[in-house]
Chains A and B, each alone.
Chain A
């Protein structure tokens, strides 16, 4: 276990090193930060002075070495725009993104497992077919479109539906789907401070309502994927000899489904899930833009627009770190579920 963690730590450092090089290498192509920092009226001599002061004229390797030494001490420099350490800027935006990802992950896990299992156990039931159909649609619609549709339906409300109002079924359907709108779809509302810069949306009912639409649209890409993955794996596992043998032993179907089959189904799902949760962090850029959710994604777009290179680099490093951490956690969980994996540092 310890050996495993040490080995993973080494991997993580290697990954972070590569990310840092890539992140740092793109800085030359992202425009002139000086222009963003100072106004039009500042003369060229002062700009050159500032450029020299910030070390922007040094060779690439010198700049990178300076960056790497500082980064190792968790100092990524000052944001040109905010005039604050970038870590502070990130720390201000990180909780919002993490909470959004957590809410979306929660939705994905709590919905995909029961739906996936159900549609594998009863593949011919109309509800299963319905889930499969919806999931295909869900996979095909890009997240920003889902987000905009959700805003239209639940935040703004709809005044027109395709169902005729003058028929009984039409007005019933209209009653079901038409909403007055009113769901919050802009920003985080008033999150409750927990400690430091961490403010949470989970502490109040009002905060939670702000989370609903962004979390649903963020989950909308991954959820169908997971439903289909769990269903496919479960169908395959149900054909296996050990499931047949469990039936021949007289074990109840419930135990077979939820112990024998589900445990085996989850192995590949956990592997894929680890990668996908990292990807969710990246997808927050789209979701946060549509909902103006004040998280890292929105901050990142802003930073690109203003050529705030230190902030961009910090963002890339932090997201890389999140990837590495989630993958390590997933590997640990996988090792706990799968007895054929031993968590040693040695290669198998």
Chain B
């Protein structure tokens, strides 16, 4: 059985104008020390997915259905008390903006030690020793003085290192990293990412990496999910998706990479923008932006505008797209007739 198993996760926000479905039909598993990437535009539901794993979505959001299984325990029905024992202990998180993640009025040491003390019966001296060890692992110079410093005395990169050290404090099974390098200087981004990867490999920690950066996903993760408007639209082994994307949206994302553009010409882009979750287009939520909504004969495929696409298996991947389903069906019919 997988370490983490998410089935049919359904997250909603109870707003005044009605319920908004922020996530639906999200299914994935994570094996021990596996690394999974979640990509998609802003508003696709990546962060909601990350926060819902530990039941940390802020009100009025709530998990309306599905299950999150971790080591045989169902996290989404667990009591707050039980969840607290998992958070920061078995599954820890790294946030996007290191400038905002650490409490400005508490010293680095206080914020590290309190995490250890929340999960272990431990003396202050032992806790300090563990903190120093972790700070050394994330390559922070002179960790003894850092412990007594406050967040404002550290640079953004240093703070993110401290946050990684906090995430590793209790040797967790999984780290959920929500765009861990987005807020950092470009020169620091690669450093922090390499450090995170190295530490995960070294300690056999599973990683759920949420990012906009397809380059990072292809380098770091073994499997990936592509999300669009609260749904997973393509998932499978990272290499296969990057090399041979099936869903028009994934194709568009990869096409939009600067490396894919012809020098001297405009960068490729997916026209339009992510729809609002409270006002999703009918049928496939991607259809207003899709280049392949028309069939070979020039007529639009009615299913795209009328029916939410289900998943089809394509190789090792699962794709939610009417066109891909049609192509697979065509291929099967051809094979049968020949």
The residues of A with any CB-CB pair to B shorter than 8 Å are 239-242, 244-253, 255, 259-260, 263-264, 267, 337-340
Contacts and interface: CB of A to CB of B under 8 A. Distances in A.
B182 to A, nearest CB: 13
Interface string B102-138: 1111110000001100110000000000000000000
Contacts of A339: 104-105, 107, 150, 152
A272 B86 CA distance: 40
Top 4 nearest A-B pairs (CB, nearest first) are: A250-B88, A249-B88, A241-B100, A250-B87
Interface in B52-103: 54, 56, 58, 80, 84-89, 92-93, 95, 97, 100-103
B104 A242 contact: yes
B62 to A, nearest CB: 15
Contact of B87 (A239, A242, A248, A264): A248
Contact of A263 (B106, B119, B166): B106
A340 B118 CA distance: 26
A252 B152 contact: no
B85 A250 contact: yes
A245 B93 contact: yes
A250 B58 CA distance: 15
A264 B104 contact: yes
Given A241-B97, A264-B103, 17 more contacts: A239-B58, A241-B100, A242-B104, A244-B56, A245-B95, A245-B102, A246-B103, A248-B88, A249-B88, A249-B92, A251-B114, A251-B115, A252-B84, A252-B118, A259-B106, A260-B103, A340-B150
11 contacts: A242-B104, A245-B163, A248-B54, A248-B95, A249-B87, A249-B88, A249-B166, A255-B118, A260-B106, A263-B105, A337-B105
Contacts of B89: 250
B101 A241 contact: yes
A267 B105 CA distance: 10
Contact of A240 (B80, B100, B114, B163): B100
A247 B105 CA distance: 17
Contacts of A267: 105
Contact of A242 (B84, B86, B103, B152): B103
Contacts of A253: 80
B154 to A, nearest CB: 12
B176 to A, nearest CB: 8
A247 B56 contact: yes
Which of B56, B86, B105: most chain A CB closer than 10 A? B105
B114 to A, nearest CB: 6
Interface in B179-223: none
B150 A242 contact: no
A53 to B, nearest CB: 61
B84 A250 contact: yes
Contacts of B103: 242, 246, 260, 263-264
Given A244-B56, A255-B114, A250 B86 contact: yes
A337 B104 CA distance: 11
B118 A251 contact: yes
Given A250-B115, A251-B115, A242 B102 contact: yes
Contacts of A252: 84, 118
Contact of A338 (B54, B56, B105, B114): B105
A146 B56 CA distance: 45
Contact of B118 (A240, A241, A245, A250): A250
B118 to A, nearest CB: 5
A248 B119 CA distance: 12
Nearest to B81: A252
Contacts of A250: 84-89, 115, 118-119
Which of A241, A242, A245, A339: most chain B CB closer than 10 A? A245
A263 B304 CA distance: 53
Which of A244, A248, A252, A263: most chain B CB closer than 10 A? A248
Nearest to A242: B103
A270 to B, nearest CB: 12
Contacts of B114: 249, 251, 255
Contacts of B118: 249-252, 255
Interface string B158-179: 0000010010000000000000
A244 B58 CA distance: 9
Given A251-B114, A263-B105, A241 B95 contact: yes
A317 B152 CA distance: 40
A254 to B, nearest CB: 11
Given A250-B115, A251-B115, A242 B100 contact: yes
Nearest to A237: B103
A249 B115 contact: yes
A309 B331 CA distance: 104
Contacts of B84: 250-252
Given A247-B56, A250-B88, A263-B106, A242 B115 contact: no
Contacts of B88: 248-251
Nearest to B102: A242
A252 B117 CA distance: 11
A248 B92 contact: yes
A242 B114 CA distance: 14
A192 B166 CA distance: 57
B127 to A, nearest CB: 13
Interface in B243-262: none
A50 B166 CA distance: 80
Nearest to B83: A250
B105 A248 contact: no
A339 B153 CA distance: 10
Contact of B93 (A239, A248, A260, A337): A248
A152 B153 CA distance: 57
Contacts of B104: 242, 264, 339-340
Which of B92, B103, B150: most chain A CB closer than 10 A? B103
A250 B54 CA distance: 10
Contacts of A264: 103-105
Nearest to B166: A249
A247 B87 contact: yes
A249 B85 CA distance: 9
Contacts of B97: 241
Contact of B101 (A245, A251, A259): A245
